[in-house]
Chains A and B, each alone.
Chain A
């Protein structure tokens, strides 16, 4: 018996065993590098198709749309096993988690038939077009304009921080159809074909030298009005529903962070720091945080299974993103003078990758609504504190 043992229902335990066996047989040896270069992109698409053919591409989608209609507890079990197996990062989460559910709710029958299977098979990659240079945390200040002209919207403006923008086939975007001062009341949610003339995608080099996101420029881009999700000027509500998916439980489990802890443990051993009491205290603090996250997700699942969507969902992103940054900080502290090196031979096996992950651990505190925005949400919607004056 091991200490991670949980008592699961028979059905869940069988599901876990099924997933574990399947992953052991199918996960590419050594995993896949982050989806960056074209060749690697094809390997990722191939992996996504393997998942699709096994019926695991979109557990949370209803059966009628090709998903498994799985409850949250089964999805968490899948995700735990997925992370435990070191399987490749999912490359089409924008489509699976955000665009897909929106299309199911607002799309016409034809749109559903066109888009949803393509997301499932990873034929279409999707990106998100929300943030702009002048509209980050203050999303309702976005200015990319869309003017109705016949059967089309004509889009002009710029999006930024578009993850996967370079390879995306489609973008779900928020554009301004109301007057410039209309705030969240003048925003429309629309699906844009990234191959439409007038779209210019320029990669941005990130802090860790990788090109994970892009700027996207729109010059007189014609988008069929039929691609609008919900009502004209009614896109704010649609977007808020999508974002709730992005921040909620199910995207990441404690197992990812346990993997990180195991890597720190290898550094500690290689550097002979096992008997350093300060290191042990750091490791104990991190194991506490990982344990807390595990039980927090357990509570969220139990609540969801009983039909409660409690305020604790707002805590999810805030908790894991801060913990993630702390874990990577401790790893850098253990590496100490080696932390700056970009040469594993002169540092330690895995150190360069850790350095890269360290910088990336600073990103989730910013993306999907900065942690300061999350605190605003908790204080106003959970604690009921008065709103601060806004325009």
Chain B
């Protein structure tokens, strides 16, 4: 279902949360900032052992053949844990694009290895100057001047360009356009939209974590002889974060389910999801740092690990303005808004 998770999906969420609670603590995220830390693939392999990377790979390629919507819970949990590894790019962008648009040779070469956790894949789309884990990725989806390319490591040129979020291990990736790596034209719009929808889900997880941290702090920190969370000025900031994040989440769930269910509004739904998640993330970033006060402004406090992941993802897969324009163009070019965006009668008889 689009708006409610199945028991199996809830199980998957618990499994992910348990794994990340053990292997992706704030201290682990901090450790992942060390140069060279991206060489350690132990967590990635554990994710593969639990089936996270095989979930939406077809069974013919050693996957579990589940829908992309199964990923929704994993993406939210990845954001909640500030997971360093590029689950978003590998599982929510590269796998579906490869599965739907890759050549037989490309699929046979990569999908089984991705499912087994042997491949870290990344993506550099739109005007993105870098790709996360670009320093070590084995495979990259690159938007080049003549379209979308699936480029293996041996054809990549990498140039390190450190991110303010040290756990992202960003690098500028380049490749010479080659017919052998080029994907069909339709792949590009799908890759961009899938990236936007998946980034929205991860961002919502990040914002949710920021909110939880600030709520915990507001309950415990006392001033004027009482917890600061009892003051309306503080309460209202946190209520605004909760409102924006919780209303943004179902928009991402819907967007991630559009492809599998063959809905025609996948691109617009993905833009709306990313725009909503980005706006919510900005509110979360402002209010949660404000609630923490001076301690939140220190390197020592963990808050900035999530603040920076959020800020990096706000710009990824299209900025707020990019998606607002795309949706605004759709409003302007649509002759009848109700017919385009309103409820429709089912055509099935």
Contacts and interface: CB of A to CB of B under 8 A. Distances in A.
Contact of B215 (A4, A265, A372, A383): A383
A288 B327 CA distance: 8
Contacts of B215: 383-385
B159 interface: no
A287 B327 contact: yes
A140 B269 CA distance: 44
B4 A299 contact: yes
B56 interface: no
Interface stretch (B94-102, B129-137, B330-338): B330-338
B240 interface: yes
Contacts of B60: none
A317 to B, nearest CB: 11
A299 B230 contact: no
Q: How large is the interface on A (under 10, 10 to 19, 20 to 34, 35 or more residues)?
A: 35 or more
A364 to B, nearest CB: 15
A387 B249 CA distance: 27
B264 A299 contact: no
B339 A2 contact: yes
Contact of B346 (A13, A255, A261, A281): A13
Given A258-B337, A265-B337, A282-B328, A301 B239 contact: no
Chain A interface SS verdict (over half): helix
Contacts of A255: 338, 342-343
Interface string A284-296: 1101111111011
B267 to A, nearest CB: 9
B272 interface: yes
B230 A284 contact: no
Interface in B306-349: 321, 323-332, 336-348
A302 B269 contact: no
Interface string A268-279: 100000100101
Given A16-B345, A303-B4, A385-B235, A296 B328 contact: no
Contacts of B321: 281
A261 B1 CA distance: 29
Given A283-B331, A306-B4, A384 B219 contact: yes
B14 interface: no
A336 B55 CA distance: 52
Contacts of A315: 242-243, 246-247
14 contacts: A2-B340, A3-B268, A4-B343, A16-B345, A77-B343, A280-B332, A283-B328, A283-B331, A284-B329, A285-B324, A288-B327, A296-B250, A372-B236, A378-B243
Return the 8 tightest CB-CB contacts between A and B, nearest first: A280-B328, A284-B324, A284-B328, A284-B327, A3-B265, A13-B346, A379-B235, A302-B3
